[in-house]
Structure 1
Amino acid sequence: MKNTVLITLAILVIGIGGFFVLSNVQDQREKAQETPAKNEGQEGKGTVSKVDGESIYKNTCAGCHGDQYQGGVGPSLKGVGSRLSDKEIEDIIQHGRGGMPSGLVSKEDASGMAAWLKTLK
């Protein structure tokens, strides 16, 4: 009887936590789209858009991967650059993997975000 109550309580807690994580996905997508890209150089002189990976991470990814990249609902991202190639990271960012939904980061920002993630130690 005790085990049944504990299992039921654990399922309830996990379900409520999952609800909050999933309900934030749309809000995180909107915040990521509102995050302005930083430009290097001057306008009109071949400017290159630089992705602010840390801001995108804080607004879109930290809820699942942790505020210090340590993992949580999603895996730890520390040292991800030594485990996966740029293209593999970019593919996961664009298309999701496991419980991670696709489209959290725009296609335009995905390669810059992958390059930023490669720098995490």
Structure 2
Amino acid sequence: MKNTVLIALAILVIGIGGFFILSNVQDQRESAQETPAQQEGKEGAVSKEGAVSKVDGESIYKKTCVSCHGDQYQGGVGPSLKGVGSRLSDKEIEDIIQHGRGGMPAGLVSKEDAPGMAAWLKTLK
């Protein structure tokens, strides 16, 4: 009886592990099939100078910003970020990211990632 439980548990663990491995492989295949335009928002944004940022703005946003600015950038506790690039300059956005503003605390994004995050935010429509 004890061996049967251990075998069943081992099969379950192997099955779950296999599921996660296969899921990751599928995600990688889908990512490889995306066009550069589809990947742009995931990998970084293009600044005015034409340099591609290595900052994954969407991931940073989901981790640190979504609770106040909304899941569609529509605002909530914080203001809407839709079209922020037409309202503020790159430097103004970067300054707010680094130093906060109003109820937004400073330091939510690292100093190194702030320029790339600002460039990504400029792309929001």
TM over 0.5: yes
How far apart are residue 49 of structure 1 and its match?
6.3
Cα pair distance change 1:49/1:86, threshold 3 Å:
closer
Q: Structure 1: where are the runs of 5+ without partners?
A: 1-37, 40-47
**% identity of equivalent residues:** 92
- 1:105 aligned to which of 104, 109, 114: 109
Q: Structure 2: where are the runs of 5+ without partners?
A: 1-41, 44-51
Report runs of 4+ in structure 1 exceeding 6 Å deviation: none
TM-score calculated relative to the size of structure 2: 0.58
Please name the residue that 2:94 is paired with.
90
Q: Deviation string for 1:58-77 (max 9, x for gaps)?
A: 00000000000000000000
Please name the residue that 1:42 is paired with.
none
**Higher relative strand content:** 1
Give the aligned CA root-mean-square deviation in angstroms.
2.0
Aligned residues: 77
The answer to whether the Cα contact below 8 Å between 2:53 and 2:116 also exists between their aligned partners in 1 is no
TM-score calculated relative to the size of structure 1: 0.60
